A and B are shown apart, each in its own frame.
Chain A
């Protein structure tokens, strides 16, 4: 009781000060948040709205914000453009991103499993070989990678966007970590029941790895979907363009008709925004963890 009697008078002035501060800081907080909100969204909203403007309205000074006579004409032109061939560039980007994701996940989980479960000679050395990748940025080795792709006859094929980019040291590291923490009793039991080494990986480890792999997979998929530099180097044929390549090509073709370029950009953003909306928790969580790799 005596303790409380002392604590209360000390707390009262502090609390009055706090509530003033709280009102002030809360409103300040929202001002900052909304400023960030505007900074982030305004370019998106402006470009989205502008993609419905006619070419004449787009070039007006001062510009309008909301389209005066909204038209779908830009979108119709982009979708029906035979040369751009939206379906093909979506297919190219999709097939590349999907194969890269699936193969990377399989390789990462399998290598992670082996590194975690078997203490064979050379284990540390081999794992170090894999981890070395974390020190070697793609931009530094893109010249020899290009020459390798030429030598292997992969140049200007979609394979060039998949094959050289399948080793993901971070993914292997995460999978290894996961398998190491997996209760070994279950694995021993499976072994006693006659499961093969591969069977243990495929039927016991893989299903459990699901959530960890899903987040990794989404990041791999998005990295592949948005990649520009590597496709720029290895792809030359129009029919093998991925979305970013096609978008740049289209914007140089239609420099005088901004509305078309904006509509095309919006169309290519749509699927990634839908994926982001559905999977946002995974993406956001994975992204914040991967920074700590």
Chain B
């Protein structure tokens, strides 16, 4: 490659002016206008991620006297991959809790995705089939928990989950069963290998998110040309067949996308866990994000370790986001 060709490719990649169409004042306006915004994005978006990567390689606590650059070095020594090795093989309490948190986070996503998507998809299909006015009302209601702040959500649900006088316990008694002594704090309550507290948090999460996923599927359903379903109907397909053989195959990619988005958002969930269970009982609902928060802010100021935990979360989320973008870029034509 010649120097000129390299220069051309490089300019293309970073984006070049096409043939000097911009006047000098225009160019000045563009650069001056964008400069503060880019500076902002650099300071508050790009620099922090670089900082987390770096911090995860140090034993860092902000209260210790560190080196000149970001307080790293000095009393906050470089430990290489030490934090990561400690997290995955170490025997300290926070490392053991973190390993438990990884499994809990995965378990939570595995529970939340089929439940949220499994409730939302039939809901969306049914909503699409009923009268417009009915649809608007139900859509309004289903979306209500999405706009409710998650702190208010936890207050509402802690009251529903109250051990003795709670609504849920009462409903269970009414249908003649014995409710568990506690919904959120008894570590011995485990069903099919899943702690009851985890199930309880998942139910709240599904309550909050299924309205959002319903909306998502409605948007996708409206994108299916009606000829497909009409053709099936004329051929004598009943609604059940129409659902399984027309709608589901056409929505396959949307379902996948909704699932990926739900996994991403479930892994970023903090408030429900922090305020309903604090990760308990016996760390059964401890998640990665709770570990990050606790190690960095709440119980300790072990930020180097917390940064390594963040990096682990970041890599998982990055992979999921790339999958999400792939799905979005793929053809949407039917």
Q: Interface residues, chain A, CB within 8 Å of chain B?
A: 11, 13-14, 17-18, 21-22, 25, 29-30, 32-33, 36-37, 39-44, 46-47, 50, 58-63, 107, 110-111, 114-115, 118-127, 129-130, 132-137, 139-148, 150, 163-167, 197-198, 222, 225-226, 228-229, 233, 243-244, 247-248, 251, 258, 261-262, 265, 268-269, 272-273, 276, 280, 283-284, 287-289, 291-293
Is there contact, CB below 8 Å, between B289 and A143? Answer: no
Chain B neighbourhood of A251, CB < 8 A: 155
Interface flag for B219 (CB, 8 Å): yes
Chain A neighbourhood of B292, CB < 8 A: 139, 142-143
Q: A44-B156, A143-B52, A148-B43 are in contact. Are A119 and B297 (CB under 8 A)?
A: no
Q: A29-B126, A120-B17, A137-B268 are in contact. Are A143 and B306 (CB under 8 A)?
A: yes
Chain B neighbourhood of A121, CB < 8 A: 11, 14-17
- Checking B127, B216, B257 against A33 with a beta-carbon cut-off of 8 angstroms, the contacting residue is B127
Interface flag for B122 (CB, 8 Å): yes
Chain B neighbourhood of A167, CB < 8 A: 37, 40-41, 44-45
Is there contact, CB below 8 Å, between B238 and A18? Answer: yes
Is there contact, CB below 8 Å, between A140 and B49? Answer: yes
- Checking A50, A61, A164, A222 against B44 with a beta-carbon cut-off of 8 angstroms, the contacting residue is A164
Is there contact, CB below 8 Å, between B44 and A289? Answer: no
Of B62, B139, B167, B258, chain A has the most CB atoms within 10 Å of the CB of B167
Interface residues on B, range: 35 or more
Q: A140-B317, A226-B151 are in contact. Are A63 and B167 (CB under 8 A)?
A: yes
Is there contact, CB below 8 Å, between B48 and A262? Answer: no
Alpha-carbon separation in the docked complex, A288 to B217 (Å): 9
Is there contact, CB below 8 Å, between B149 and A107? Answer: no
Enumerate B178-216 residues with CB–CB distance to A below 8 Å.
207, 210-212, 215-216
Question: Nearest chain-B residue to A140 (Cβ)?
Answer: B314
Interface flag for B79 (CB, 8 Å): no
- 6 more CB-based (< 8 A) A-B contacts, given A197-B25, A244-B150: A32-B126, A33-B123, A47-B156, A61-B164, A129-B46, A228-B149
CB of A129 to closest CB in B, whole Å: 6
- Checking A18, A60, A122, A144 against B52 with a beta-carbon cut-off of 8 angstroms, the contacting residue is A144
Interface flag for B2 (CB, 8 Å): no
Alpha-carbon separation in the docked complex, A270 to B14 (Å): 49
Enumerate B247-289 residues with CB–CB distance to A below 8 Å.
257-258, 261, 268, 270-271, 275, 289
Is there contact, CB below 8 Å, between A120 and B31? Answer: yes
Q: 1/0 per residue B125-137: CB within 8 Å of A?
A: 0110110001000
